[in-house]
Chain A
Amino acid sequence: MNVHADLTPDHKVIAEKRGALVEFGGVTKTYGPVTALRPTSLRIEAGEFFAIIGPSGSGKSTLLGITAGFIVPSAGMIRIDGADIVAVPPYSRNFGMVFQNYALFPHMTVAENIGFPLRMRGVAKAEKAERVARALAMVRLEGLGDRRPSELSGGQQQRVALARAAVYDPLLLLMDEPLGALDKNLREEMQEEIKKFQKALGVTVIYVTHDQQEAAAMADRLAIMRNGRLEQIGSPRELYERPQNVFVAGFLGEASILPVTKTSPLAGGFAVAELAGGGNVEAVASTGVGEALCIRPECIVVGPDAEQTDNVFAAQVEEAVYANGSVRYRLRLDGSGHVVNARFSTRPDLVLMQPGQRTKVGWARRDGLLIEGRPET
């Protein structure tokens, strides 16, 4: 990693500061009879980039609002480097926050916006000007300090918001769908930029988004939320390759999730499961042997090679979609009638199968996971 290469020595000084260790202990929020956040305990390491993803109404914004201090939790505590901050008002928490629509003050110039937190902290004029200039340089907006936010593009506004939230060296940076308002190409560019920025500052980041690809690309670890509950926490790879339940499996990527009726254990952590509708498969018995089988699309082998795998089925191609060097097949298994999705890279000489064509489908038993929950049909 060579993230410091293009930073001036000033920035290296900042980089030596570390972010805060954040601990949530039984944090809960109820509104009358409605539970927005079930008791949540979570430990986010100092300097970690932690993403929270989930559909709207899953409680991720509530958790972020509680951390920022906008929402008072019904129970529980939040510790920053060991000190409980639940009773501390938002303006004394010394966290940075980037909002989805940036919330740049329209009546102030870019420099005044970035200088605002320093002004609130009583920083002397000369030092303030210097730090604002440094922050502008860090987000590559030199010379735009006198503009109004409305005169900047979306990406530039986003960078101003980032500079404003970081100019006072907060220990924790909260981000609420910060790239939600940008178009796809700019979003990918900003993902890299934010990641670089976070590495340079060494700040702890809690990043809320509903975009699972964005979260997976940026975060060290991520948590998936649903119905006010943390469903699973882990690195992007862990969550993708070892989902514990149907919701997590379905939320990340496009898994094939098939219902199973009966499982019986085998040696070596494997189990035999009977697919609903007929057919036996061998698969990895995860911690909780459940009612569903999850297979990732890139693990499924299609064509004559499928014969070599542990679980082989005859199937019919239902749909073939080509996109940018990869092909995705939707295949219906004979007998049980379940649908599996397969995806692999193509080469120019590869002949694609057509809908209606008959073929073989299979996967290794180590690529099938028995997980909790009932698949949606």
Chain B
Amino acid sequence: MTDPRLWRILSYGILAFAVLVLIYLVLPTLVIVPLSFSSETFLSFPPPGFSLQWYDAFAQSLDYRIAILNSVKIGLPAALFATVFGTLAALALVRGHLPGRRLLSALMIAPLILPQIVLAIGLFPIMVKLGIIGSYAGILLGHTVLAMPLVFITVAAALKSYAPTYELAAMTLGANRWNTFRFVTLPMIKPGVIVGFIFAFAFSFDELILAIFLTNPATRTVPRLLWEHLNYQMTPVIAAATVVLLVITLSMLAIAAVYARTGARKPSGAAS
């Protein structure tokens, strides 16, 4: 094992394997991209010719326009609520002295781990009873519950990244609890809060199962519309819509990644 040649071969082997895994992860997602430029009228691979007609059809479609608007109308407030409640929960469970904090933390991220279908089936009869099935309020509630763990995780991580000494210092300097939060805690966890918000919005924007159960044709989101179109018409407009969705989601995740990096740099620089 001390032979350097053997090590070099081994490291090339590991590199090749890593590349293969990456291709396996990314390629199926990217197959959709050439499909969206197809000249054919149904989804087939490989596409026989190049055309932008499906992007044109997507842009012209009133259904898609309404669905995108719905996705934003649901996604933004859901992300906002999830951010507020997720941040409050993280503060209580990371900085507070509640009994049973471990159990409560586990409960907080349970919606992320449990199958979404379970929640969807549970919410459906309740919302029927409440008369909010198919309304914005219904899907908003559902998405807030599912997106909250994402914010909880990012904000809890931000809170755990620095010692609570900063808050104690602020208090000795005359800041009451609210001012301590506003001028010290919030600026320190800001990257975590923003990344959590982006994750929450991206989640709501992509979510299908709850949308199937809790929306109606007037409130349906982009993923639900895509799913319906897949069932009835297999035109490449679906591919075009998916690529647009993909670009939006990826750019949001890129923003989140940039924020997480700049945020991580600041406190660590001060701690050293």
Name A residues whose Cβ lies closer than 8 Å to a Cβ of B: 68-70, 89-97, 99, 101, 103-107, 116-117, 120-121, 148-150, 164-165, 168, 174
Select one of A93, A99, A105, A150 contacting B184, CB under 8 A.
A105
Select one of B168, B180, B187, B188 contacting A70, CB under 8 A.
B168
Please report the C-alpha to C-alpha distance between residue A96 and residue B180 in the assembled complex, in whole angstroms: 16
Given A105-B169, A105-B188, A164-B173, 16 other A-B contacts at CB below 8 A? A68-B168, A89-B171, A90-B171, A91-B172, A91-B173, A96-B172, A99-B168, A99-B169, A101-B163, A105-B183, A106-B270, A121-B174, A149-B270, A150-B269, A150-B272, A165-B172
Name B residues whose Cβ lies closer than 8 Å to a Cβ of A: 163, 165-166, 168-176, 179-180, 183-184, 187-188, 266-267, 269-272
Question: Could you jot down 11 A-B contacts, CB within 8 Å?
Answer: A69-B172, A89-B171, A90-B168, A103-B166, A106-B269, A106-B271, A116-B170, A117-B174, A120-B174, A149-B270, A168-B173
Please report the C-alpha to C-alpha distance between residue A106 and residue B187 in the assembled complex, in whole angstroms: 9
Quick check: B172 and A101 within 8 Å, CB to CB? no
Quick check: A99 and B165 within 8 Å, CB to CB? yes
Quick check: B168 and A106 within 8 Å, CB to CB? no
List, in ascending order, chain A residues with CB within 8 A of B168's CB.
68, 70, 90, 97, 99, 103
State whether A150 and B173 are in contact (beta carbons under 8 Å apart), knowing that A70-B168, A105-B184 are contacts in the complex.
Answer: no
Quick check: B187 and A107 within 8 Å, CB to CB? yes
Quick check: B176 and A106 within 8 Å, CB to CB? no
Quick check: A91 and B165 within 8 Å, CB to CB? no
Tell me if B's interface is mostly helix, strand, loop or mixed.
helix
Please report the C-alpha to C-alpha distance between residue A184 and residue B169 in the assembled complex, in whole angstroms: 25
Closest approach, in angstroms, between the C-beta of B16 and any C-beta of chain A? 41
Quick check: A105 and B166 within 8 Å, CB to CB? yes
Quick check: A120 and B179 within 8 Å, CB to CB? yes
List, in ascending order, chain B residues with CB within 8 A of A117's CB.
173-174
Residue from B172, B179, B267 whose CB has the most chain A CB atoms within 10 Å: B172
List, in ascending order, chain B residues with CB within 8 A of A89's CB.
171, 176
List, in ascending order, chain B residues with CB within 8 A of A164's CB.
173
List, in ascending order, chain B residues with CB within 8 A of A148's CB.
269-270
Quick check: A106 and B267 within 8 Å, CB to CB? yes
Please report the C-alpha to C-alpha distance between residue A150 and residue B187 in the assembled complex, in whole angstroms: 16
Quick check: B172 and A68 within 8 Å, CB to CB? yes
Quick check: B266 and A91 within 8 Å, CB to CB? no
Name the CB-closest residue of A to B272. Answer: A150
Closest approach, in angstroms, between the C-beta of A131 and any C-beta of chain B? 14
Closest approach, in angstroms, between the C-beta of A243 and any C-beta of chain B? 34
Select one of A68, A69, A107 contacting B266, CB under 8 A.
A107
List, in ascending order, chain B residues with CB within 8 A of A99's CB.
165, 168-169
Select one of A95, A106, A107, A150 contacting B172, CB under 8 A.
A95
Closest approach, in angstroms, between the C-beta of A276 and any C-beta of chain B? 48
List, in ascending order, chain B residues with CB within 8 A of A91's CB.
171-176, 180
State whether A104 and B171 are in contact (beta carbons under 8 Å apart), knowing that A89-B176, A99-B165, A116-B183 are contacts in the complex.
Answer: no
Name the CB-closest residue of B to A154. Answer: B272
List, in ascending order, chain B residues with CB within 8 A of A97's CB.
168-169, 172
Please report the C-alpha to C-alpha distance between residue A258 and residue B56 in the assembled complex, in whole angstroms: 96
List, in ascending order, chain A residues with CB within 8 A of B269's CB.
106, 148, 150
List, in ascending order, chain A residues with CB within 8 A of B171's CB.
69-70, 89-91
List, in ascending order, chain B residues with CB within 8 A of A90's CB.
168, 171-172
